[in-house]
Amino acid sequence: MATSADYKLGEYAFARGWFAVANSSEVTRTPINVHYFGQDMVLYRGESGRVVMLDAWCPHMGTKLGSGETSATTTAAFFMEGDNIRCPFHAWRFGPDGKCNHIPYHDGPIPPGARVKPWRVEDRYGIVFTWHDPEGQEPDFDIAPFPEWDDPQWVRWQGLEPLCDLNHPIEIFDNMSDVAHLGHLHGGHAVTYENEYDRHLMHQRQSSAVEDNSSGLFGQTYSTIAGYVGPGIAFGRFREMGAAQIICVTPIDDGTCRAWQAAMVRSPSGVVDDTSRAMRDKASALFGGGLLRDGEVWAVKKPALHVMQLPSDGPFRQSRQWYSQFFNPRTKAAEILAPITGVHYAKGWPPFTPVDAAAE
């Protein structure tokens, strides 16, 4: 395992950005514990429907909020009141702002230190995202847009499907600038290819021809417009297929991460029905299966602390520089981005042209 410091990413072990922490369907009135960014949190849905995520360690005596299934508190009616949660040990009650707002056996003022950190969360696209920021500031960019979610012709995904829990997230991120592996690992040789860096956005645009038949798509050509919005959310749009994919990558500890994916498709008939839902499931399985080929490699490879980058490789070094902006104070972003902002090509691959250029 290698850490962010081993990769020389910057000042912080964990990047600034939006990250998936759960599917919305998993977040109910029954609290769950999650562990990301090297920290433990409790996650639940308040009575109002609001999703709440708090640091898990009770300031009273260190009990883990969300634990204690048999506690007299967690089994009592007052355990989850409104949007609050009580600690299983002595029933101190915490609000969505993280402040203790009731201690059942104490009638004096509540100590000001009786609070836990509240996390900023957004429930969007059926996924709960949180904003992680080592500088503790407000978000300076939004969650990746998926307008397909609100388009009635598109079949929504049913939640993120976990792919793997391993490796530093940079090893997954490297995929986005790895033109050579498309043919040699995935069996879809790139015909045109380019990457672009623009502030918190990274783009990968390519057209490919399928050269193996494990997917049953031999001979087909397709174009993908993919990229990252910040370090934790990647998108892919398969133009000719009418499909969109989300890949979420969230650090667990320094050097490990969880990757998930999900897919939506545009219904050819314009109606969401069993036929188009089956297409969605097939696309999701196809994309997930493609990522499992990467996963096989990730599971056993050594950390690539340095990439022996050939001119005909994609721009790994430039991509890693883009990625490093999120591991440093935001005041350094302009300096980090200045040498790489713009479009980059790999030797031997012409600039991106969509297969279906007429659709432009």
102 binds ligand FES (CB under 6 A): no
Concatenated DSSP letters of 25-77: GG-SSS-EEEEETTEEEEEEE-TTS-EEEEESB-TTT--BTT--TT-TTTTST
Cβ 335 to ligand FES shortest distance, Å = 45
- Which partner, ligand FES, Fe ion, none, binds residue 294 by CB below 5 to 8 Å per kind? Fe ion
Q: What gap in Å lies between CA 77 and CA 259, rounded to an integer?
A: 37
For Fe ion, which is the closer residue by CB, 175 or 319? Answer: 175
Neighbours of 50 (CB within 10 A): 13
Tokens (6 digits) for 90 = 């002595």
| Contacting residue, 34, 42, 87, 172, with ligand FES by CB under 6 A | 87
Q: What gap in Å lies between CA 278 and CA 299, rounded to an integer?
A: 30
> From the centroid of its chain, how far is CA 132?
12
- Which partner, Fe ion, ligand FES, none, binds residue 318 by CB below 5 to 8 Å per kind? none
Cβ 37 to ligand FES shortest distance, Å = 22
Binding mask 105-134 for Fe ion (x = CB under 5 A): ------------------------------
Which positions from 157 through 176 interact with Fe ion, judged by CB under 5 A?
Answer: 175
User: Which segments of the chain does DSSP mark as H helices, in order?
Assistant: 169-173, 180-184, 274-300, 316-324, 333-337
- Which partner, Fe ion, ligand FES, none, binds residue 330 by CB below 5 to 8 Å per kind? none
Binding mask 283-302 for Fe ion (x = CB under 5 A): -----------x--------
- CA–CA–CA angle 231, 174, 197 (5° rounding): 60
Cβ 87 to ligand FES shortest distance, Å = 3
> Rule CB under 5 A: which residues touch Fe ion?
175, 294
> Rule CB under 6 A: which residues touch ligand FES?
58, 60-61, 63, 87, 89-90, 92
